[in-house]
Amino acid sequence: MGCPKEFSIKGGMGVALMAKPDKAYTILKTLVDNLSIPVTCKIRILETPEATLEIVQKLVSAGIRAIAIHGRTRDERPQHAVHTDIINYVADRISIPVIANGCSKEVEKHSDIYKFKKMTGCTSVMLARAAEWNCSIFRKEGLLPMDTVIKEYLKLAVDYDNAPSNTKYCVQNILRELQETPRGKQFLDCQTLEQICSVWDLGEYCRLKQSEYQKNGIQGRWQVCPIELEPPTKKIKSCDIDLVDVIQSKVCFIRSNFDDLNLPKTQLHTWAGKNGHKLPTYDTQQVSKLFRSILTFNNKKYTSSFWEKSKKFAEQGAALVCLLHLELITEEELIKNGSIIK
Q: CA 327, CA 295: separation in Å to the nearest integer?
A: 16
Mean pLDDT, the chain, rounded, equals: 91
Phi-psi region of 63 (alpha: psi -120 to 50; beta: other; left: phi over 0): left
Model pLDDT, residue 233: 43
Question: Higher model confidence: residue 32 or residue 240?
Answer: 32
pLDDT at 1 over 50: yes
Average pLDDT over residues 135-152: 97
Edge-to-edge, what's the strand order for the sheet holding 40-44? 40-44, 66-70, 98-101, 124-126
> Which one has a higher pLDDT value, 336 or 170?
170
Q: DSSP characters for 279-342?
A: PPEEEEEEETTEEEEEEEETTEEEEESS-BSSHHHHHHHHHHHHHHHTTSS-HHHHHHTTSS--
- Among 66, 26, 74, 9, smallest CA distance to 42 is for 66
CA separation for the pair 166, 45 (Å, rounded): 31
Tell me, what's the pLDDT at 326?
Answer: 97
pLDDT tens digits along 189-240? 887 888 899 999 999 999 899 888 878 877 665 555 565 555 544 433 445 4
pLDDT of 290 above 90: no
> What is the predicted pLDDT for the residue at 79?
92
Task: Tell me 125's DSSP state.
Answer: E
Residue 50 reports pLDDT greater than 90: yes
Distance CA 175, CA 46 (A): 33
Sheet of 281-287, strand order:
246-249, 300-304, 290-297, 281-287
pTM of the model: 0.69
The domains found in the chain, sorted by start residue, are 6-138 (3.20.20.70), 146-215 (no CATH), 226-336 (3.30.160.20)
Average of pLDDT values for 20-32? 97
> In the chain, pLDDT over 90 holds for what percent of residues?
76
From CA 293, how far away is CA 310, in angstroms rounded? 10
Q: Where are the beta strands (DSSP E) in the chain?
A: 40-44, 66-70, 98-101, 124-126, 246-249, 281-287, 290-297, 300-304
Rounded distance between C-alpha atoms, residue 311 and residue 110, angstroms: 48
Q: What is the pLDDT of residue 237?
A: 40
Q: Which of 61-65, 215-219, 299-303 has the lowest mean pLDDT?
A: 215-219
Q: What is the pLDDT of residue 246?
A: 95
Q: For residue 52, is pLDDT > 70? A: yes
Give the pLDDT confidence score for residue 235 in this predicted structure: 39
3-state secondary structure string across 227-250: HHHCCCCCCCCCCCCCCCCEEEEC
pLDDT in tens, 241-257: 457 799 999 888 888 78
pLDDT in tens, 70-112: 999 999 999 999 999 999 999 999 999 999 999 998 999 999 9
Report, as residue numbers or ranges, the catalytic residues. Answer: 3
